[in-house]
A and B are shown apart, each in its own frame.
Chain A
Amino acid sequence: MSFSLLSLGWTGLNVSRLLAETSGHNTSNVNTPGYSRQRVELSARSPLWAVPGMLGTGAQATSISSLRDLFIEKQLLGAGGEGGFAGGQIEALQAAETAIGVGGGDRLQQALGGFFQALSALAAQPSDLATREQVLAGARELAQAFRDVRAQLQSSRQGLDDQIEQSAAEVQKNLEEIARLNREIRAAETAGVQANDLRDRRGLLAQQVAEQLGVRVFSDDRGNLNLALADGAVLVEGDQAAELRAVKDPANDGLMALELVSGSGVVRHLDAAAGGRLGGLLQARDVTLRQALEKLDGLAFDLASAVNNLHRGGFGLDGVGGRDLFTPLAGPDGAAGQLALDPAVDGNARALAAASDPAALPGDNRVALLLAGLASAPIASGGTQDPISAASGIGSFIGGALASAERDFEFHAGRIAQLSAWRESVSGVSLEEEMIELAKAQRAFEAATKVIKTADELLETVISLKG
């Protein structure tokens, strides 16, 4: 009987040591990202059938479980993806907005204003050579402004290539590690052990992937965490990870495109619908900024065509008509990048056509008046807008997209903070709690030692009887 008392004390020691160790593990990981606090599940050992009734045999630890709320974690993944989508757009659009012009100093708008101002001066003094030089300078600056703004928009699109390449590589690494962890967790858990720390690590990696790409997660009954995009494209299935790679896309100005190669070798092209920060970057680059570029090109083309049409109908001081002011453009495609003064007029102020009648030189201002009138004529955006409004519309277009991304980001950041607080509330380590747990374990350990000491004394009493 005293022998069973010894073993009772021993189970108490064992369990208390385990409690203290788990508290210590929790305490050490108080600041580990993704860590969920662990708890030892205790139960009484199976009793012995004895004469007066069942006799207890001590305590045992049945498992070490980690405390987590899978629902909140799923929500966090979703919120992370949506926040990342807004964040990616902000990253991309901020640079573009600055390129167009900040502080009311819209480059295009100013250049257009200067150009039309010079044309008005030409209408007032059609035969004045200094005024004509001003018109040429205004037209040259206008063409330069179109080319510069286009180059800057284009370079703010190209500037994203590095980020896209780097993030894709990072996501790829994480996907592979998730697949590896799936394998390890499966191996560990078929042996009946909960792989808490591995699961925490895997959860953290999934959260990191979710910020870069909008993913859905599916857990299966074998303990795998499977990741797929919103449209069902598989990223990780069991211990197989798809390959995410960034490649140059000749169909899109040679910019980086994202491709997903599945385990069976099927190649998928990813666009903004992929979500997450990468989706946000693509949305900004291939939707918002591309539309801004199209608007810019369209405006350059419409303006050059309208100006040229009038200019060709007019006559220079030399009595020659039919000349273009801007080099004729083939079509709106890339027009803003090609806008330039026509060589027939460049450097030859007398060639500027202000007159509508070659017999009424040099004082005829009728064509100059019409040209100046283009400032408020609906020639842009399919004949619905005057050119200056259309130019300021491009800045507003990018600014509007940026402002709405910023609003979204703020909303999702708030949601993420709230969900993280909930997650922390369930899974976070509280140092006070752990100290109390440690004290509890220490007391129990001391008590169990006392039990063993008592058993020892009892045995000694029995042994001394014989002597």
Chain B
Amino acid sequence: MRITEKQIMASLNRGIAQGWSRLGEIQERISSGVRVEKPSDDPLASARIGSIDRALGELERCELAAREGRAGLEASEGALAEMSDLLIRARELAVQGASDQYSAEDRHAMALEVEKLREQALALANTQVGGRYIFSGALEDTPAFDAAGNYQGDGLERELEVAPGLKVAVRLRGDILFGGAGGGVNIFTVLSDLQAALSANDGAAVRSQLSLLEQAGEQISQGRARAGSRLNLISGAHNWNGQLALQLQQDRSSWRDTDLASASLDLALAQKALEASVLSASRMLQMNFLNRF
């Protein structure tokens, strides 16, 4: 093939220009730490990164819901634990009051304590989180029970999505727990009846409340079990979300980030190639046959 100076110059030019652009590209990759900066850098990787980002966003939303749900359930659980203690105390009083050893004054003192317990029970049933009554269902700006022990909420157990596709009810129904709905007993009625029986110094009536108190205790422990199992679900979901997010982040980084080891190797190679181009250019430019003619 016949070669002219112009061809040589063009190829030197091309070699050096390509060398610089390759070097610049690798340098940019290393200094930004990112391999895929715009979709055209690698359309496949960029589509994968997009779907990973989407999944990460979904996990973030679920985590938010899980945090919120856990706060509500833990508050419910705490209220139920106290309610349970309170019922145990009420039962102790009822057992004592049922015994005929005690005088009318004694029973009167017990009645006063039961009245206090009932007030406490009402306060627990009207527990608020962030200014909202957690046992009122959807009517969360209304206290769950009025002073007479009537339920004022509705039966909605709010659900949240705590992991992709997993919805958990994060509220317990106050009417079932405390109000006697669904075949249970109304705790406030039981306590008022107990108080009345004690005040009336009626041992038999006090005795008749014992089984009802037992039933109320049962009702509360069922509620605690339900809250506990939901909390378990949520903490399982939380762990799962965390693991999935970690995996997704690793995946994302492997698609998006520069592999420094291989990039430095590429940089060294590109540098060598450019040096070689420049060297060969300077050698070629030194050649001058024209002064020989």
**Which of B43, B138, B161 interacts with A362 by CB under 8 Å?**
B138
Contact (Cβ within 8 A) B160 A425: no
Query: Which of B60-68, B191-199, B221-229, B266-274 faces chain A?
Result: B60-68
How far does the alpha carbon of A100 sit from the alpha carbon of B50 in the complex, in Å? 13
Known: A400-B40, A424-B6. A392 touches B47 (CB 8 A): yes
> Which bracket fits the contact residues of A?
35 or more
Contact A117 B64 (CB under 8 A): yes
By the criterion CB–CB under 8 Å, are B51 and A121 in contact? no
Report whether B158 and A365 are in contact in the complex, using a CB–CB cutoff of 8 Å.
yes
**Contact between B139 and A435 (Cβ–Cβ < 8 Å)?**
no
Residues from 300 to 342 in A contacting B, C-beta threshold 8 Å? none
Q: With A363-B158, A421-B11 as known contacts, state yes or no: A393 contacts B38, CB within 8 Å.
A: no
Contact B50 A393 (CB under 8 A): yes
Task: Tell me whether B116 is interfacial, beta carbon within 8 Å.
Answer: no
- Tell me which residues across on chain A come within 8 A of B60, comparing CB atoms: 117
B128 to chain A, nearest CB (A): 12
- CB interface residues, A 53-101, toward B, < 8 Å: 93, 97-98, 100
Is the C-beta of B54 less than 8 angstroms from some C-beta in chain A? yes
In the assembled complex, the Cα of A102 lies from the Cα of B40 at a distance in Å of 10
Q: Which residues of B contact A439 (CB under 8 A)?
A: 293
Contact flag A388-B54 (CB < 8 Å), given A123-B65, A369-B159, A398-B39: yes
Measured between beta carbons, the chain B residues less than 8 angstroms from A127 are: 132, 140-141
Residue of B nearest to A120 (CB): B61
A-B contacts, 12 of them at CB < 8 A, read A30-B6, A103-B34, A113-B57, A117-B57, A123-B160, A123-B161, A127-B140, A363-B158, A369-B161, A403-B39, A425-B7, A429-B6
Q: What A residues does B89 contact at CB under 8 A?
A: none
Q: Which of A165-173, A201-209, A275-283, A352-360 contacts B (4 or more CB under 8 A)?
A: A352-360
Q: Is the CB of B156 within 8 A of A364?
A: yes
Residue in B34, B37, B156, B256 with the greatest tally of chain A CB atoms within 10 Å: B156
- The answer to whether the Cβ of B215 comes within 8 Å of any Cβ in the partner chain is no
Contact residues, A417-462 vs B (CB, 8 A): 417, 420-421, 424-426, 428-432, 435-436, 438-439
Closest to A125 in B: B68
Confirm or deny: A372 has a beta carbon within 8 angstroms of a beta carbon on chain B: yes
Complex alpha-carbon distance, A65 and B3, angstroms: 20
Q: How far is the CA of A360 from the CA of B156 in the complex (A)?
A: 8
Contacts of A364 in B (CB 8 A): 138, 156, 158
Interface of A is mostly: helix
A346 within 8 Å of B (CB atoms):
no
Given contacts A372-B161, A392-B51, whether A430 and B2 have CB atoms under 8 Å apart is yes
**Is A137 among interface residues, defined by CB-CB distance under 8 A?**
no
- For residue B10, CB closer than 8 A to chain A, the reply is yes
Asked if B49 is at the interface (CB within 8 A of a chain A CB), the reply is: yes
For the complex, is A104 an interface residue (Cβ under 8 Å from B)?
yes
Contact with A392, one of B53, B61, B64, B138 (Cβ below 8 angstroms): B53
CB atoms of B158 and A102 under 8 A apart: no
| Identity of the chain B residue whose Cβ is nearest the Cβ of A102 in the assembled complex | B38
Cβ–Cβ < 8 Å partners of B2 in chain A: 425-426, 428, 430
Complex Cα–Cα for A30 and B7 (A): 11
B68, A363: Cβ atoms under 8 Å? no
Question: Which one of B40, B132, B138, B293 lies within 8 Å of A357 (CB-CB)?
Answer: B138
In the assembled complex, A373 has its CB within 8 A of some CB on chain B: yes
Give the 10 A-B residue pairs with the shortest CB-CB distance, closest first. Answer: A399-B39, A392-B50, A360-B138, A363-B140, A124-B68, A402-B40, A363-B138, A400-B43, A428-B4, A120-B61
> B126 to chain A: closest CB distance in Å?
14
B58 in the interface (beta carbon within 8 A)? yes
In the bound complex, residues from chain A placing their C-beta under 8 Å from that of B51 are 389, 392
Residues of A within 8 A of B82 (CB): none
Contact flag A363-B156 (CB < 8 Å), given A30-B6, A406-B40, A435-B290:
yes
Q: Give the contacting residue for A424; candidates B7, B14, B39; CB below 8 A.
A: B7
Query: Quick one: closest A residue to B293, CB to CB?
Result: A435
Could you tell me if A360 and B4 are in contact, using CB atoms closer than 8 angstroms? no
Q: Are A369 and B6 CB-contacts (below 8 A) given A103-B34, A363-B137?
A: no
Taking the nearest CB of chain B, how far is it from the CB of A86, in angstroms?
A: 13
A280 shortest CB reach to chain B, Å: 15
**Binary interface profile of B, 22-35, with partner A (CB < 8 Å = 1, else 0)?**
00000000000010
Provide the residues of chain B in CB contact with A393, threshold 8 Å.
Answer: 47, 50
A106, CB-defined interface residue at 8 Å: yes
Q: Which residues of A contact B34 (CB under 8 A)?
A: 103-104
Tally A-B pairs: CB < 8 A.
173
Q: Select A120's contact among B40, B65, B130, B140, beta carbons within 8 Å.
A: B65
The reply on B277 being an interface residue by CB < 8 A is no
Does the CB pair B54–A396 fall under 8 Å?
no
8 more contacts with CB within 8 A, not counting A363-B137, A373-B161, are: A98-B38, A102-B38, A361-B139, A376-B164, A392-B53, A399-B41, A430-B2, A435-B290
Given the contacts A106-B50, A395-B39, A121 and B3 also touching, CB distance less than 8 Å? no
Q: CB-nearest residue of chain A relative to B52? A: A392
Residue B100 at the A interface, CB < 8 A? no
Please tell me if A31 contacts chain B, counting CB pairs below 8 Å. yes
A109 within 8 A of B: yes
Residues of A within 8 Å of B64, CB to CB, are: 117, 120-121, 124
Residues of chain A lying within 8 A (CB to CB) of residue B53 = 104, 109, 113, 388, 392
In the assembled complex, the Cα of A30 lies from the Cα of B37 at a distance in Å of 44
Q: Kindly provide the distance from the CB of A315 to the nearest chain B CB, expressed in whole angstroms.
A: 11
Residues of B within 8 A of A227 (CB): none
Residues of A within 8 A of B189 (CB): none
Residues of A within 8 A of B159 (CB): 365-366, 369
- The answer on a CB contact under 8 Å between A375 and B3 is no
Complex Cα gap A363–B159 (Å): 11
With A113-B57, A376-B58, A392-B51 already in contact, the answer to whether A421 and B40 are too (CB < 8 A) is no
Chain B CB within 8 A of A146 CB: no
- CB neighbours of B7 from chain A (8 A): 421, 424-425, 428
Task: List B contacts of A400 (CB < 8 A).
Answer: 39-40, 43
Q: When chains A and B are docked, how far (Å) is the Cα of A424 from the Cα of B5?
A: 10
Contact A124 B154 (CB under 8 A): no
Which residues of chain B (7-23) have a CB below 8 Å from chain A?
A: 7, 10-11, 14
Residue of B nearest to A119 (CB): B61
Nearest-neighbour CB distance to chain B for A133, whole angstroms, equals 16
B152 interfacial by beta-carbon distance below 8 Å: no
Interface centre among A121, A369, A399 (most CB of B within 10 A): A399
The answer to whether B43 touches A399, judged by C-beta atoms less than 8 angstroms apart, is: yes
- The chain B residue sitting closest to A438, CB to CB, is B293
Contact A396 B138 (CB under 8 A): no
Q: Which B residues lie within 8 Å of A30 (CB)? A: 5-6
Nearest CB in chain A to that of B256: its residue? A104
Q: Is B14 touching A417 in the complex (CB atoms < 8 A)?
A: yes
A-side contacts of B37, CB under 8 Å = 102-104
Q: Is A124 touching B57 in the complex (CB atoms < 8 A)?
A: no
